[in-house]
Amino acid sequence: MDWNRAKSIILILLIFLNIFLFINIIIVKKDFDLSGTYRANALKALTDSGIVISCSVPSGNKPVQRISFIEKDKNVYTEMIRNLMGIEEDDDIIREEYYSDKKTLKFIDNKFIYTDDSGSVIVPVENRKKLDTALKKWIKKNRISNDSFVLDKLYREDDAVVAEYVQLYRNVPVYDNRIVFRIKNKALTEVEGSCRIFYELRANKEDYVVSAEIVLLTNKDRIKGEIVGIDLGYLLAQTDELYDTPVWRITLSAGEEILFNAFTGEWIDLN
């Protein structure tokens, strides 16, 4: 065999391979540049139509999964009941109401409502970061959940400070899996949460979402005000559905939230 000739052939093939790879890189880069140009044009079209966006616009170019919920054994509530109420709960059947030393715990309509009139839990409401740390520690300490939660809303309601948390699934918020804290005079007085946080979350078929720019462009007539937040999360749009669907949540400066199905771009009417 002529090894010199063989080496020459291999060298030529490698050169052609490198040229092929280089051309493909150029094509991919061009597509990426066009994508960036498209986004810029879409945002300009929104601005020209009078839509004011004072927040970042997520790219949303990765496939997203639907999620379903599997209810666990009733024993998942036991540790929470023991920690919050100081009650040894050995019965397999979870009662609807518990009372103990100025504290109550009720399970109503797939929610738990815990009230504390003792004033024993003081939280630093004057500092958002410290408040966030304290409430997350409270969730872990009382065995509510080992999953991650993120502070979604913080506001005043009458004489109370209200902090709303949503559960994260693979860093994506699950809007219906919510824990709401009410604090009066720096004392934690009430916690209301969805019992879905005790369920097991499972991922299902994934698909690409409609970009936030497209959703806003095709639904711009529904946007009545300055956009201060655009978030991708999960929502159970209909009570009879089996899965939580990815949604774009558009938050306006007045506090109104508008939701769109992230797979179809359609507006979601929660009423």
**Position 122 pLDDT exceeds 90:** yes
Q: What is the pLDDT of residue 66?
A: 87
CA distance 169 to 149: 9
Question: What number does CATH give the domain 51-68+205-271?
Answer: 2.40.128.690
Give pLDDT tens digits for 189-230.
Answer: 999 999 999 888 888 878 888 888 888 888 888 988 899 999
Average pLDDT over residues 8-17: 53
In sequence order, what are the residues at sequence separation of 6 or more whose Cβ sits closer than 8 angstroms to the Cβ of residue 82? Answer: 88, 89, 143
CA distance 264 to 241: 16
Closest to 225 in 3D by CA, of 55, 60, 39, 38: 55
Q: What are phi and psi of 149, to 5 degrees?
A: -130, 155
Same fold, 51-68+205-271 and 72-198: no
Contact call for residues 271 and 203 (beta carbons, < 8 A): no
CA dihedral angle for residue 239, residue 245, residue 246, residue 249, rounded to 10 degrees: -20
CA distance 62 to 207: 8
List the domain boundaries for the chain.
1-48, 51-68+205-271, 72-198
User: Any idea how long the chain is?
Assistant: 271
Q: What are phi and psi of 204, to 5 degrees?
A: -125, -160
Q: What is the pLDDT of residue 2?
A: 58
Give pLDDT tens digits for 15-43.
Answer: 554 554 444 433 433 443 345 667 777 77
Q: What is the pLDDT of residue 138?
A: 96
Rounded to two decimals, the pTM is: 0.80
Indicate the average pLDDT of the chain: 83
| Lookup result for tokens 């946007």 | 223
Average pLDDT over residues 78-90: 80
Going by pLDDT thresholds of 50, 70 and 90, the confidence category of residue 7 is: low
Q: What is the pLDDT of residue 42?
A: 77
Highest mean pLDDT among 31-40, 58-67, 127-136, 236-245: 127-136
Question: What number does CATH give the domain 72-198?
Answer: 3.30.310.160
